[in-house]
Amino acid sequence: MSNFVVSARKYRPARFDEVVGQQHVSQTLKNALSNDHLAHAFLFCGPRGVGKTTCARILAKVLNCQNRTEDFEACNTCSSCTSFNENASFNVIELDAASNNSVDHIRALVEQVRFQPQQGSYKVYIIDEVHMLTASAFNAFLKTLEEPPSYAIFILATTEKHKIIPTILSRCQIFDFYRIQIPDIIAHLENICEQEGIKAEKDALHIVAQKADGALRDALSIFDRIVSFSGKEITYNQVIENLNVLDYEYYFQIVDALLSEDQAQVLLLFNDILKKGFEEGVFINGLAEHIRNLMVCKNPSTLELLQVGDSLKERYANQAQISSESFLMSALNLTNDCDVEYKLARNKRLHVEIALLKMCHLQRLIAAPLVATTEKKTPDVSEPVPPVLKKEKPAEKTQPEEKETTISETISQEEPLAKTIEPEPTVTNPLSASGGGMLFKSIANIEQEVVNEQAEEETVAELEMENVTQAWADFTKTVGSPSVRNFLNKAHLSLLAVDEIQIAAGTSMAIEAIRQESELMEFLRKALKFPLLKLKFELDASLLPKEPVQKPNKPMTDKDKYQKMVETNPKLSVFKDKMDLKPE
């Protein structure tokens, strides 16, 4: 059996220029070497598998290289580089703080610092997972880390910078490593495929990069696994089968079914996904990401946030064009709510199915308010007549008065004034059939104005505070919420004008609760027979219940205590007289 070396070790960068996705770190270190401004202690922070230890090893190698290149890289030919490549260098000491985290281990390390390097200029100490050191170990390391010998350089690496004590952080030069971006991982995998003679589809490598979640070491481990499964040809279907990844095709079909309100197709697709062994939570998270990608496609400036293969970008763009932003935003909210409540659901499949069925009706719910708005064509008599109609009134005097009287007589005086009055274009109007629509509309406007004026004359005389109070009390009895009833009972009513009632409450919560009662306005208008009634809300802190002022307790004297005891037990006075006691 041949000695197989995993890709993470075989293709580990040996030069700063080979480090993937951390150019800001490698370039800073090279500039420090060129300017001879190298610190004595470094702290490399970042997620796993992004190159922290690799950069530390490259820096240690360059420091002791005897023939550095012009761009301050290691030559890989001198005795120091050769011994380093063979893991036989005595000038580089690596310590895993996860298993060597006690005070004794740190003291042993400090003892080694006292000895100068036998070959080369520096002794480099690389401490990995430094956050695992105990507090006492950190304290034992402080003095040496602050004032090391000129030949000693410390490089600390950690994935959890927040666990390191501030006194250590203040003594180090800190470098933050980023997550490796998906395009950088794909480019690195393509380079490996070229060297290994492997043919791989771009979408297949994209899935590997996504699955790695920003860690290049994880991406290389997944890549080795896929190569073992697929051989020299890697396809998209093989990758999703081996990694158990849900195919994008399902999400495109699901969204198409949601847009067409095909409930049966949605449920069948979801059932097919479950049959393939995928969990409901994995599906709903994937659907949320798919909808998020569609939202990204709606704006050209956010297309760079769409991290998918080139072949999928066109499909996302096409589906985003037929999806409204309102639908996508509402669907995204539903998927998020479903994911949040997923762990609490007993029947998880039903929980997800309910969310999918709600998404099927999103377009209908979004369009409903628009339809209701367009269908309202005639104005409501209860609303004030615009001033424009009053200006047009003299111009419409050319219409015969008999015609105006005939139309006005068709209005029933027994019907409530808040009801919308729609003029009917019957044969009594000779202009409606011969192109006189504009003149007929003006007559209807005059008629509406006359009715409003009559309503004002009738209601001004009837609107009294006694009637308002009674109507308010009648409405309060119909409210089901006890807290809202309490707010209504404590509200203070007053008349501001002939058509306006002021409602004062002590708190903004009470005002908001009363304002939310949508039936209040209609109820008062009908009860008071005043269709133009207005309500005004005011916050009045004086309506808050005042707490009684408690007088400070005065200390009781002995006589006061005796009188208090006598009031409780009168026999005490008889006892005092018999015993001839004199309380002071």
Same domain, 167 and 190: no
Q: Is residue 139 part of a domain?
A: yes
Whole-angstrom distance, CA of residue 207 vs CA of residue 316 = 16
CA distances (Å), origin 512, targets 90, 267, 521: 76, 42, 14
Nearest-angstrom CA–CA distance, 502 and 538 = 7
Residue 238 shares a structural domain with residue 252: no
Mean pLDDT (whole number) for 434-440? 40
Torsion, CA 295, CA 297, CA 300, CA 306, rounded to 10: 100
Instruction: Indicate whether 253 and 236 sit together in one domain.
Output: no
Contact 58, 13 (CB under 8 A): yes
192 lies in the same domain as 45: no
Whether residue 148 contacts residue 141, with contact meaning beta carbons closer than 8 Å, is answered with no
Predicted confidence (pLDDT) at residue 349 exceeds the cutoff of 70: yes
User: What is the pLDDT averaged over residues 161-176?
Assistant: 90
Residue 227 makes CB contacts below 8 A (sequence gap 6+) with 196, 198, 234
What confidence category does residue 80 fall into, taking pLDDT thresholds of 50, 70 and 90?
confident
State how far the Cα of 165 lies from the Cα of 151, in Å rounded to an integer.
25
Q: Which long-range contacts (CB under 8 A, 24 or more apart) does 409-418 make?
A: 411/447, 411/451, 416/526, 416/529, 416/531, 417/381, 417/382, 417/451, 417/455, 417/529, 417/531, 418/380, 418/381, 418/382, 418/522, 418/525, 418/526, 418/531
| Residues 136, 154: Cα–Cα separation, whole Å | 19
Q: What is the pLDDT of residues 563-578, one digit of tens each?
A: 878 788 877 777 777 7
Query: 563 lies in which domain range?
Result: 555-584
| Same domain (yes/no): 233, 290 | no
In this predicted structure, which of 36-40, 109-113, 287-291, 506-510 has the lowest mean pLDDT? 506-510
* 2 located within any domain: no
Same domain, 123 and 188: no
Q: Are residues 202 and 265 in the same domain?
A: no
Last residue of a domain, one of 443, 461, 479: 461
Q: Is residue 11 part of a domain?
A: yes
Nearest to 511 by CA among 545, 480, 484: 484
CATH of the domain at 191: 1.10.8.60
**CATH code of residue 254:** 1.20.272.10
423 and 516 in a single domain? The answer is no
Taking only the tens place, the pLDDT of each residue in 238-278 is 888 888 888 888 899 999 888 888 889 999 999 999 988 88
* Residue 548 covered by a domain: no
Domain boundary among 216, 242, 268: 242
The residue assigned the tokens 């994008």 is: 248
Per-residue confidence at 584, pLDDT binned at 50, 70, 90?
low
> How confident is residue 550, by pLDDT bands cut at 50, 70 and 90?
low
pLDDT band for 542, please (50, 70, 90 cuts): confident
Q: How far, in Å, CA of 330 to CA of 508, rounded?
A: 30
Looking at residues 485-500, what average pLDDT do you find? 84
pLDDT digit string (tens) for 382-433?
A: 444 444 434 444 444 444 444 443 333 333 334 443 444 444 444 444 333 3
pTM tops 0.75: no
To which H or E segment does residue 96 belong? strand 92-96
Considering the domain boundaries, does residue 480 fall inside one?
yes
- % of the chain with per-residue pLDDT over 90: 17
- How far apart, in whole angstroms, are the C-alpha atoms of residue 151 and residue 55? 19
Q: Looking at the structure, do residues 166 and 130 belong to the same domain, yes or no?
A: yes
Q: pLDDT-derived band of residue 438, with 50, 70 and 90 as boundaries?
A: very low
For residue 128, the tally of other CB atoms under 10 A from its CB is 20
Domain boundary (176, 206, 222) is at 176
- Among 320, 269, 22, 43, CA closest to 164: 43
Question: Does 445 reside within a domain?
Answer: yes
- Average pLDDT of the segment spanning 335-352: 91
Asked if residue 170 and residue 38 are part of one domain, the reply reads: yes
The verdict on 229 and 264 lying in the same domain is no
Q: What is the DSSP string of 407-444?
A: HHTTS-TTS-TTSPP-----TT-TTTTTT-HHHHHHHH
Q: How far apart are CA 138 and CA 246, in angstroms?
A: 46
> Of 192 and 305, which is predicted with more confidence?
192
Nearest to 221 by CA among 49, 443, 38: 49
Average pLDDT over residues 221-229: 90
The pLDDT tens digits of the residues spanning 118-148 come to 777 888 999 999 999 888 888 888 888 888 8
The answer to whether residues 12 and 62 belong to one domain is yes
Report the pLDDT averaged over residues 525-531: 85
418 neighbors 526 (Cβ within 8 angstroms): yes
SS3 for 485? helix
Is residue 313 one of the residues assigned to a domain? yes
**Dihedral-angle region of residue 76 (phi above 0 means left; psi in -120 to 50 means alpha; beta otherwise):** left
188 — pLDDT class (breaks 50, 70, 90): very high
Find the range with the poorest average confidence among 36-50, 349-363, 565-579: 565-579
What is the Cα–Cα distance from 580 to 584, expressed in whole angstroms? 13
Distance from C-alpha of 142 to C-alpha of 140, rounded to nearest angstrom: 6
Nearest by Cα to 44 from 159, 194, 121: 159
Q: Within a domain: residue 382? A: no
Number of domain units in the chain: 6
Contact 214, 222 (CB under 8 A): no
- Region 31-35: what's the mean pLDDT? 88
Query: Is 544 in contact with 509 (CB distance < 8 Å)?
Result: no
- Residues 267, 261, 295: CA angle, nearest 5 degrees: 95
**pLDDT over 70 (residue 456):** no
Counting Cβ atoms within 10 Å, is residue 354 exposed (0-12), middle (13-18) or buried (19+)? middle
CATH of the domain at 56: 3.40.50.300
Which tops the pLDDT comparison, 568 or 105?
105
- The amino acid at residue 489 is N
